[in-house]
Amino acid sequence: AQSVTQLGSHVSVSEGALVLLRCNYSSSVPPYLFWYVQYPNQGLQLLLKYTTGATLVKGINGFEAEFKKSETSFHLTKPSAHMSDAAEYFCAVRPNQAGTALIFGKGTTLSVSS
Amino acid sequence: DVKVTQSSRYLVKRTGEKVFLECVQDMDHENMFWYRQDPGLGLRLIYFSYDVKMKEKGDIPEGYSVSREKKERFSLILESASTNQTSMYLCASNRHGSTEAFFGQGTRLTVV
């Protein structure tokens, strides 16, 4: 079965510092990959996704992620953190086949200090 | 914009009650999903449906059932609510062959 591992349940950075949230997946074939963000008391909002093609994917709010097949990773980065980036971030995969649902990691809470 | 609407943001129910959580989407999506979100556990799939009257068990279906009588509506049913079902419940939908899912705002259910 496919699974997603997010390394670090909590990440703290200073405003202006690099954000790096780690995600590894297990799959026999490359799945579709996603990062979602959840602000307090909100649903999930799609940040970015990888399906096929270019392995560096740019998303909203200055975030980007790189699909590395050899490392089975899809880490999320942002060059300069902003206070408004404080939220919970979820990495998810979807097997590349019809009739399947997203499988989520356990989430990483990002704190940003001034 | 896709809209997925969950009927309640907050619910408080008593142990043993039958509880209905409703979800409606307005984009004619074939697939609908119910997830449960708990701290440290992420989102876990309860049930999903890929067509009217069709349903598939997810990873944690025990204690839950679902109903999909119309394409736009997917209901999650707790036949006899228990305190361990206190959680945030998230509904999502997408189109066949689509990649990402669109989420509702969530229902925070407390069972006392």
The beta-carbon neighbor of B97 closest among A45, A92, A98 is A98
Q: Taking CB atoms and an 8 Å cutoff, what residues of chain A touch B35?
A: 104
pLDDT of residue B109: 97
Distance, CA of A104 to CA of A3 (rounded, Å): 8
Query: In the structure, what pLDDT confidence band is assigned to residue B2 with cuts at 50, 70 and 90?
Result: low
By C-alpha distance, which of B64, B30, B70, B29 is closest to B47? Answer: B64
Tens digits of residue pLDDT in A62-108: 999 999 989 999 999 999 999 999 999 999 998 776 667 889 999 99
In the DSSP assignment, the letter for residue A17 is S
Q: Which residue of B has its CA nearest to A51?
A: B99
The beta-carbon neighbor of A105 closest among B42, B90, B92 is B42
Contact across the interface for A44 and B90, Cβ inside 8 Å? yes
- Label residue B42 exposed, middle or buried (CB < 10 Å: 0-12, 13-18, 19+): buried
Tens digits of residue pLDDT in B42-101: 999 999 999 998 999 999 999 999 999 999 999 999 999 999 999 999 999 998 877 788
